[in-house]
Amino acid sequence: MNAAEYTRNDVPDEIVIRDLGVTFQDNKGEDVQAITGVNLNIKKGEFVSLLGPSGCGKTTLLRCVADLQEPTDGDIHVEGMTPKEVRLQHKFGFVFQSPVLFDWRTVKKNVELPLEMMYQTKQQRSERADEMLEMVGLTNFANHFPNQLSGGMQQRVNIARALGIRPDILLMDEPFSALDEFTKEKLHEDLLRIWRKTNKTILFVTHNIQEAVFLSDRVCVLSPHPGRLSAVVDIDLPRPRTLDMKETPAFNQLVLKVRNSFEGGSFS
Amino acid sequence: MRKKHLALTEKKWFQILFWAVLVIAAWEIGATAVAMTKRTPENILPHLYQILAAAFSGKAVSGGMTASGVVLTSAGATLLRALGGFAIGAGLGFLLALAMKLSGLVEKLIFPYLMLIQLIPVLGLAPIILAITGDINRSRLVIAAILSFYPVAANTLAGFKAVSKDKYDLMFTYAAKKRQLYTKVLIPSAIPYLFTGLKIAAPMAITASILVDTLQGDGGLGCMLSQSLKHAMSIYVFWLIVFFSAFIGIFSTYLISWIEILVYPEKRSAAGIGRSAGKEKKYGRSTEKNRTQKEPGPETL
Ligand SMILES: Nc1ncnc2c1ncn2[C@@H]1O[C@H](COP(=O)(O)OP(=O)(O)OP(=O)(O)O)[C@@H](O)[C@H]1O
Ligand SMILES: [Mg+2]
């Protein structure tokens, strides 16, 4: 199935990626194609995963959408604007793989940081930060410092901070890959609950098939050398999703389908 | 956790005690040996109790002042200039680090040559500075500033450079202005490095100021030091100054650590780690409770 052909009626496209290619130079000066010929339309309010083995260009693709990386070929439009215009309007929330917290700021002040960049008043910031911390269940830790939190809690602060600016689009780069299974599953549920409540568009990078299937409306499978979009799998599991769905045959069939869509049929 | 914390403190006290006993023992063995073999042992290595006695004796040694009186009055002139030079040098060092961070050109032009300042022997430089400034107090300031400058500039720059790419990316995503990047990320990140530089610079500024004193007979710790060595007054003034300077040097470093705790909130929180560990445990329990209702069975790749 071609990604560009994918349509989901009546909802407008939020992100349109056309013939996207990124070429890096390695240290010998030779060209390395990180990604090539990627076409993808993402609907408003959709949860889309980018799945693939290490080095297939998932991060590069996400960074292009966020305006952190200049594409070599093709273009990206977000709500009809360039990524730069969208970024300057604070419409992106980017959740990095590591929490990237500032250790001299309390948890609450970390969440307030992007709001400071938006010139919100002290009171606005404080109220918003409290709201976000409540959403991720960290109200009692507002005045702690990041080094006093566990990895999972730090990652929740990271998410709270990204959501605080009310972004239209949430870009997440393997946000849970460093976490244990228990924390991860808890955060999956949290993320889906927040997503349902706020109706954001989420582009979620992962290399975990179960994670991608459980969370997404669609899973985009990327293949390496050069990185390209090799398949898009619709996940028609009902919502809201619950952890026990992972035991159902429908879920396992989709996992199998995604796994088989990797070129050569294997992915490890 | 609590027990571990206590054990750690005990260990630290033990270390301090260990070194104190070792140093005192070595000193006294040396002093005893010197007392048996030399004619004027107090010039080489007096007993510690002799130095203590000199510190608290009411006997005038110079111009009607006791030994301690001489030390304390001359310390004022020296330390005040050391402090002034330290403040000027540290301030300029910080600003230069900032300028080097802001402009790659400034860094390329200045940084490789900055360490040359470190290589110039202060003693050689001091008479030249004195000749230029024509004033002992100004010379103290200038020399102390020159010596404070480098450690502060180099450490602060290292602090700016230690900021990870992630943090830049994060600020870029939030469309931060350059000024915001500096005030909210780079400068706060560099503060612990700045303090490392300050801790190195403070004792150096004091040493520099004492050295400059010796150039002129106008008072100051260094001046008294050399007069005492030349037997113009009691030799115990010399020993008192040695101990006093060592104490001030160590104290200056501790003082800066203490100021650092005041200005850098994360350091303050270090004391609260024990408390938060308890809470984290509670968090762990609650998630486990959530989990037990479901089969784990995570299918990993
Ligand atoms: N700044 C860069 N300079 C040169 N090559 C790069 C750069 N960034 C990425 N690459 C190359 O581009 C390719 C894709 O990298 P990318 O980080 O997008 O992969 P990824 O799918 O996110 O992998 P992972 O799952 O390990 O994070 C890799 O081959 C990598 O070596
Ligand atoms: Mg990546």
DSSP structure string for B111-147 = HHHHHHHHHS-HHHHHHHHHHHH--HHHHHHHHHHHH
Query: Any chain B CB within 8 A of the CB of A24?
Result: no
Q: What is the mean pLDDT of chain A?
A: 90
Q: Do A90 and B175 touch (CB under 8 A)?
A: yes
The finding on whether A54 has its CB within 6 A of some atom of ligand 1 is: yes
pLDDT in tens, A107-153: 999 999 999 999 999 999 999 999 999 988 899 999 999 999 998 89
Q: What is the mean pLDDT of residues B258-281?
A: 57
Residue A173 lies in a domain: yes
The pLDDT assigned to B277 comes to 37
Residue A96 lies in a domain: no
Contact A141 B279 (CB under 8 A): yes
* Upper half-sphere CA count for residue A169 (Cβ side, 13 Å): 27
Name beta bridge partners: A93.
Answer: A170
Residue B8, in any domain of the structure = no
The total number of structural domains in chain B stands at 1
Domain enclosing residue A81, as ranges:
2-91+167-260
pTM for this predicted structure: 0.81
Supply the DSSP symbol for B294.
S
In chain B, the N- to C-terminal Cα span, in Å, equals 37
Angle between helix B136-161 and helix B104-119 axes, rounded to 10 deg = 130
Instruction: Indicate the residue among A124, A151, A166 that finishes a domain.
Output: A166
Q: Which two tokens stand for residue A177?
A: 């890959």
Tell me the pLDDT of chain B averaged across its residues: 81
B7 confidence band (pLDDT: 50, 70, 90): low
State the average pLDDT over residues B247-266.
86
Give the atom of ligand 1 at the shortest distance from the alpha carbon of A205. Answer: 22
Where is the domain boundary, A120, A151, A166? A166
Distance (Å, rounded) from C-alpha A101 to C-alpha A162? Answer: 12
Cα gap B167→A89, rounded to integer Å: 19
The DSSP 8-state label assigned to residue A119 in this structure reads T
Cross-strand partners of A169: A92, A201
Q: Are residues A64 and A180 in the same domain?
A: yes
For A220-249, the DSSP string reads EEEETTTBEEEEEEE----SS--GGGGGSH
**What is the pLDDT at residue A264?**
55
Confidence of residue B114 (pLDDT cuts 50, 70, 90): confident
Q: Has residue B110 been placed in a domain?
A: yes
- pLDDT bucket at B98, cuts 50 / 70 / 90: very high
Q: Is there a domain that residue B15 lies in?
A: no
Which of A148, A166, A184 delimits the end of a domain? A166
Which of B118, B127, B203, B105 minimizes the C-alpha distance to B153? B118
The domain that holds A214 is classified in CATH as 3.40.50.300
Provide the pLDDT confidence category of residue B281 given band limits of 50, 70 and 90.
Answer: very low
Has residue B49 been placed in a domain? no
Q: Is residue B201 part of a domain?
A: yes
DSSP A20-41: EEEEEE-TTS-EEEEEEEEEEE
- Do A106 and A14 belong to one domain? no
So what's the pLDDT on residue B271?
44
Query: What is the CATH classification number for the domain harbouring B221?
Result: 1.10.3720.10
Residues B209 and B76: their CA atoms lie apart, in Å, by 11
Q: How confident is the model at residue B268 (pLDDT cuts 50, 70, 90)?
A: low
A14 vs A89, A192, A212, B24, CA distance in Å? Answer: 15, 19, 20, 76
Q: Cα–Cα distance between A216 and A46 in angstroms, integer?
A: 8
Segment of B47-56, B92-101, B270-279 carrying the highest mean pLDDT: B92-101
Q: How confident is residue B296, by pLDDT bands cut at 50, 70 and 90? A: very low
Residue A220 confidence (pLDDT): 96
The pLDDT tens digits of the residues spanning A173-201 come to: 999 888 888 888 888 998 999 899 888 99
Residue A241 has pLDDT above 70, yes or no: yes
- B2 CB-contact burial (10 Å; exposed 0-12 / middle 13-18 / buried 19+): exposed
pLDDT at B292 over 60: no
Counting the structural domains of chain A, the total is: 2
CA dist., res. A195 & res. A210, Å (int): 18
Closest residue in A to B295 (Cα–Cα):
A244
Count other Cβ atoms within 10 Å, centred on residue B80: 15
Reported in sequence order, the residue ranges of chain A that DSSP labels E, i.e. its strands, are 13-25, 31-43, 47-51, 73-78, 92-95, 169-173, 201-206, 218-223, 228-234
Strand partners, A234: A218
**A207 within ligand 1 shell (Cβ under 6 A):** yes
Clarify whether residues A107 and A192 are in a common domain.
no
Q: Which residues pair with A201 in a beta bridge?
A: A169
A227 lines ligand 1 (CB under 6 A): yes
Counting from 1 in the atom list of ligand 1, the atom nearest the Cα of A207 is 25
